[in-house]
């Protein structure tokens, strides 16, 4: 029986984000702690010039929908062969960064958002290919380009932060038994 490889897809997405200089701390799941200080420790980061701040990203799967291939999909020009399901995973990537007016942190955060989105704008990355051109996740058909759905100021713990949500849709082919 074929299984979804959503965790492998998520890990490959995180690997791309981790390669963005200055991204901050990157996590593959929602972090929690009853102790606010310990919770914020998951996001403490130091910039190259020594500025300590809250900066990080969390990737979590928000939803997954699945469609079975139909008879019509076997027709010439059809997209998905019979016996294959197309599962669409929506990954939510949320990011935070300390707001600091004196250093123009909004501009820095907006640029960081664009750098992360830039990582997912070419065909190689949208297919999550490795350095040799092989797929990191064989069942992945492709990623859809990133969608920035929210940018705002938000209190994170007890720190005023820039906050953003980026959604990435991953389309996976899964063989049905």
Per-residue pLDDT in tens (0 to 9) along the chain, 177 residues: 358 889 999 999 999 999 999 999 999 999 888 888 899 999 999 988 888 899 999 999 999 998 886 545 444 445 556 678 889 999 999 999 999 999 899 999 999 999 999 998 888 888 888 888 888 888 888 899 999 999 999 998 889 999 999 999 999 988 776
Give the model's pLDDT for residue 110. 97
d(CA 140, CA 16): 16
d(CA 107, CA 164): 13
Mark 80-109 as b/e (b = at least 16 C-beta within 10 Å): beeebbbbebebbbbbbbbbeeeeebeebb
Token output for 49: 């010039």
Give the model's pLDDT for residue 40. 92
Helix (H/G/I), strand (E/B), else coil: 177:
coil
Give the model's pLDDT for residue 80. 58
Every domain of the chain and the residues it spans: 6-175
d(CA 125, CA 105): 28
Q: Residues with Cβ < 8 Å from 124, sequence gap 6 or more?
A: 133
The bridge status of strand 44-46 relative to strand 52-68 is: antiparallel
Tell me the CATH number of domain 6-175, given options 3.40.50.300, 3.30.2000.30, 3.20.20.150, 3.40.50.2000: 3.30.2000.30
Give the model's pLDDT for residue 161. 97
Give the model's pLDDT for residue 69. 64
Give the model's pLDDT for residue 75. 47
pTM listed for this prediction: 0.86
Give the model's pLDDT for residue 74. 47
In 10 A of CB 39, how many CB atoms?
14
Give the model's pLDDT for residue 42. 94
| Side-chain-side CA neighbours of residue 50 (13 Å) | 0
């Amino acid at each position: 029986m074929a299984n979804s490889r959503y965790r492998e897809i998520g890990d490959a997405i995180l690997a791309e984000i981790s390669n963005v200089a200055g991204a901050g701390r990157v996590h593959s799941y929602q972090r929690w702690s009853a102790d606010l200080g310990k919770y914020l420790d998951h996001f403490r980061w130091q910039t190259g010039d020594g500025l300590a701040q809250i900066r990080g990203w969390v990737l979590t799967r928000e939803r997954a929908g699945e469609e079975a291939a139909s008879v019509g999909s076997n027709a010439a020009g059809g997209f998905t062969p019979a016996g294959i399901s197309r599962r669409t995973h929506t990954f939510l990537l949320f990011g935070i960064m300390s707001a600091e007016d004196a250093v123009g942190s909004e501009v820095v955060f907006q640029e960081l958002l664009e750098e992360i989105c830039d990582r997912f704008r070419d065909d190689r990355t949208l297919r999550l290919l490795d350095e040799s051109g092989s797929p990191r996740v064989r069942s992945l058909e492709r990623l859809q380009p990133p969608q920035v759905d929210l940018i705002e100021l938000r209190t994170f713990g007890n720190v005023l932060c820039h906050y953003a949500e980026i959604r990435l849709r991953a389309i996976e082919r899964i063989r049905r038994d």
